[in-house]
Structure 1
Amino acid sequence: MKRMTKKSLAVALTGAMCLALVGCGGGNKETKAETTAETKAESSAETTASADGAVDLNALTVDEITENAKAEGHVESVGMPDEWADWGSLWQAMNDTYAIAHNDTDMSSSEELQMFKTEGENGTKDMGDVGYGFAGQAVSEDLVQGYKTSYWDNVPDWAKGEDGKWMVAYTGVTTFLVNTDQVDKVPTSWQDIREGDYKVALGPLTGGNAQGAFIASAYAFGGDMNNLEPAFEFWTEMAEAGRVNTLDITQANFESGEIAVGVVWSFQGIPYSKNIDQYNMTAVVPSDGSLQNGYASVINKYAPHPNAAALTREVMFSDEGQTYLALAGAIPTREDFEIAEEYADQVISKEEVANAVLISDADAYSAACETAKTRWEEEVAPLLVQ
């Protein structure tokens, strides 16, 4: 995979990050200079652990979390690969600034939470990034722990769960990624797709991307989250015509030429279109059915490196982290964040998302996603030509 990290940007922002995160914690705990980082990590964990063994990250200042994270020296993520929303720049900054190493295992939202659940107290993963519709499940199944970050008050209510058990750092908008070497007429609407003759990929309906694409198509044809019938009619029609590409919407599958048209989030479509050299690619926000929807940062209740996970989230919501996300085709969540003027022409404009439906009710969206997944397996999947 090609990395889309912008080295010059990373150097400038990483330097600023060091200044921005020092001393911005809201607590009253004083740093004890005479203790080593390792001793500090151990003592903080002991004094802030809850009855079930999880560390109370919200009881620590940012300074304390930073020192503890340095002592842990590693963060293990799931579903946060370098090329997704340019997490690669974030991981590089974590390493350059705090000497925190990183490893990711890419998987779907449902797989992430299943791993947290299966491993339980023997957790090997620290954090993940799950579709908005999975946030409620993460909390109801008691799989995650909270960390509110120092930016909590500048994050809208719809984008954060109680005690910071999940936080949405960014949203994306429904996007068609089109191989223009294979498709003559680039679709700019779902109606264009309906009238085309090419196959369309949206990924497995167990994943947040496909669920979002499916629900977006409902809006295009007169439905909404409470009325998915237009979407089922559309995708049934597509399946019966042999026009549903069952491959996952990974960059590799676009690079191989096996996907001519895929429905992705903007933070995938825009970077993919820049990264792929084998074909001419274009990313288009559909005019007649588009969601603006986020992915939620979750920290495993039994994370082996909880402070490193918390610090990663802190950086994710910082100006630097929000800039990385914006340049990757995402829409930063922080209400007080403004992109630097030098990057203004490189990010999605307000005009491009003017007609997108902002998903701000996690429970309602989760219910719609569950309906889409269940009925797809029952009604559409049997029609697919493998």
Structure 2
Amino acid sequence: MRPTTTRRSFVKGAGGAAVGMTAGLAGCLFGDDDEDLVIQYNAVDGWANYSTVRETFTEETGIDFPEDTKNSGQTLNALTNEADNPQADVAYMGISDAIVAEQEGLTQPYEPENWDQIPDDLKHPDGEWFCNHYGTVGWAVNTDEIEEPPETWEDLLDERFEDTIALYNPESAYNGFINYVNANLAMGGSLTDFEPGIEFFQELQDRGNIAAMPDQGVTTSFFQGEVPMLMAYDFNAYEAKYLSDMDEDSVEVVVPDDSALVIPYTLNVVNDAPRQENGEQLCDFQLSEQGQQLFAESFVTPARDDVDIPDEIADMMLPEDEYGGSQAIDYEELVEHQSDIRSEFSEEIAS
């Protein structure tokens, strides 16, 4: 049995879960209609095995697939700003930003190969977006720096975590935003009431427990030993433990006991994509068994029901009972309030 069965059931059970080189520079260098180029916004080396995915796709197809270092929020902003003159062919985002992109007319329908193997609640019914993999909120702890790792969100307020916690900026990166949403829910908030989350983060700051909250580079900072704790996803934590230069025995993976959100990441074909056929081919590759297995090698959960996590990877992951706090949410409801949530965070926390 794959170790993600229970987490997949959480995703399916959620009522609202029906839910480098910049592309502009690449367009200047290669030409918007270049047959041997595809641009995917948010294809970052060091994230979800994208360096290997990019290299393998190019080897298989001869189509150049350069790295793009935007995060989800920056990707949505770029698609919005470029709506009249698209530069990218494919976009990769957290599900909330993908839903916004669809609502704003920034995507176009496409059903990739193996469409039928993607669960219905992990794809837009018309193909405006579709999940390629998902993860669960999780933390990586450097036990050389922190002897007693946290088990719950409440634990993070303890004085032993002074100047230790690093996460992506919730104003910009979806990873950080979801950790903020998760903290709010764990503290008793809801998708319409973020006062508990505001108070929690204010207290973290007042106690000096947040060491870093930049737009980018947090996982790399943890891998390099610059911060003692990384708040991200379980797959980021597993990568730190098994795929970085860190001592495997010095990294502990934590999935918070009280609440750990399950988050789909998605692909879509950009509306009026300049290299649409290449973009569709790239989506097909990422949903192929080969592409899904490449993602699984970085500890993300494949979107396709019929693709298992390789045994050697599953054996390194936490047992299923460590995911008892896993939960999905109504992502469409989250989207309704996402702008206000980020604005409130900016006003109350980031400022």
In structure 1, what is the equivalent of residue 219 of structure 2?
Answer: 251
How has the CA–CA distance of structure 1 residues 336 and 83 changed in structure 2, closer, same or farther, with 3 Å as cutoff?
A: same
CA distance in 2, matches of 1:342, 1:241: 41
8 A contact 1:170–1:331 mirrored in 2: yes
Q: Secondary structure at the match of 2:82?
A: helix
| 1:296 and 2:259 matched | no
How has the CA–CA distance of structure 1 residues 143 and 338 changed in structure 2, closer, same or farther, with 3 Å as cutoff?
A: same
8 A contact 1:327–1:346 mirrored in 2: no
Structure 1 position 167, deviation (Å): 0.8
| 1:164 and 2:127 matched | yes
Structure 1 position 213, deviation (Å): 0.2
Within the candidate set 281, 289, 306, 1:319 is matched to 289
Alignment of 1:1-386 (within 5 A): 72-195=35-158, 196-199=160-163, 200-205=165-170, 206-248=172-214, 250-277=218-245, 280-341=250-311, 343-346=313-316, 350-359=320-329, 361-382=330-351
CA distance in 2, matches of 1:322, 1:346: 18
Aligned length: 311
How has the CA–CA distance of structure 1 residues 223 and 105 changed in structure 2, closer, same or farther, with 3 Å as cutoff?
A: same
> Aligned residues: percent identity?
24
TM-score, scaled to structure 2? 0.81
CA distance in 1, matches of 2:272, 2:183: 38
Residue identity in the other structure for 2:150: P
- Identify, as 1 or 2, the structure richer in helix: 1
8 A contact 1:299–1:306 mirrored in 2: yes
Q: Secondary structure at the match of 2:67?
A: strand
CA distance in 2, matches of 1:204, 1:257: 19
CA distance in 1, matches of 2:137, 2:311: 25
Q: Secondary structure at the match of 1:163?
A: coil
Segments of structure 1 that go 5 or more residues without pairing to the other structure are: 1-70
8 A contact 2:302–2:309 mirrored in 1: no
Structure 1 position 307, deviation (Å): 1.6
CA distance in 2, matches of 1:181, 1:342: 26
Structure 1 position 96, deviation (Å): 1.9
Structure 1 position 191, deviation (Å): 2.1
Structure 1 position 299, deviation (Å): 2.0
Query: Could you tell which deviates more after superposition, 217-226 or 124-133?
Result: 217-226
TM-score, scaled to structure 1? 0.74
In structure 2, what is the equivalent of residue 22 of structure 1?
Answer: none
Greater C-alpha Rg: 1
CA distance in 1, matches of 2:133, 2:319: 15
Query: Could you tell which deviates more after superposition, 114-123 or 370-379?
Result: 114-123
How has the CA–CA distance of structure 1 residues 277 and 342 changed in structure 2, closer, same or farther, with 3 Å as cutoff?
A: closer
Segments of structure 2 that go 5 or more residues without pairing to the other structure are: 1-33
CA offsets 1:5-28 (integer angstroms, 9 cap, x no match): xxxxxxxxxxxxxxxxxxxxxxxx
8 A contact 1:197–1:243 mirrored in 2: yes
Structure 1 position 356, deviation (Å): 0.6
Structure 1 position 341, deviation (Å): 4.7
CA distance in 2, matches of 1:305, 1:187: 47
Structure 1 position 121, deviation (Å): 4.2
Q: Secondary structure at the match of 1:75?
A: coil
Structure 1 position 256, deviation (Å): 4.0
CA distance in 1, matches of 2:233, 2:198: 20
Structure 1 position 237, deviation (Å): 0.8
CA distance in 1, matches of 2:350, 2:270: 32
CA offsets 1:49-92 (integer angstroms, 9 cap, x no match): xxxxxxxxxxxxxxxxxxxxxx8222112211121111122212
Structure 1 position 368, deviation (Å): 4.5
Higher relative contact order (CA 8 A, sep 6+): 2
Query: Could you tell which deviates more after superposition, 202-211 or 250-259?
Result: 250-259
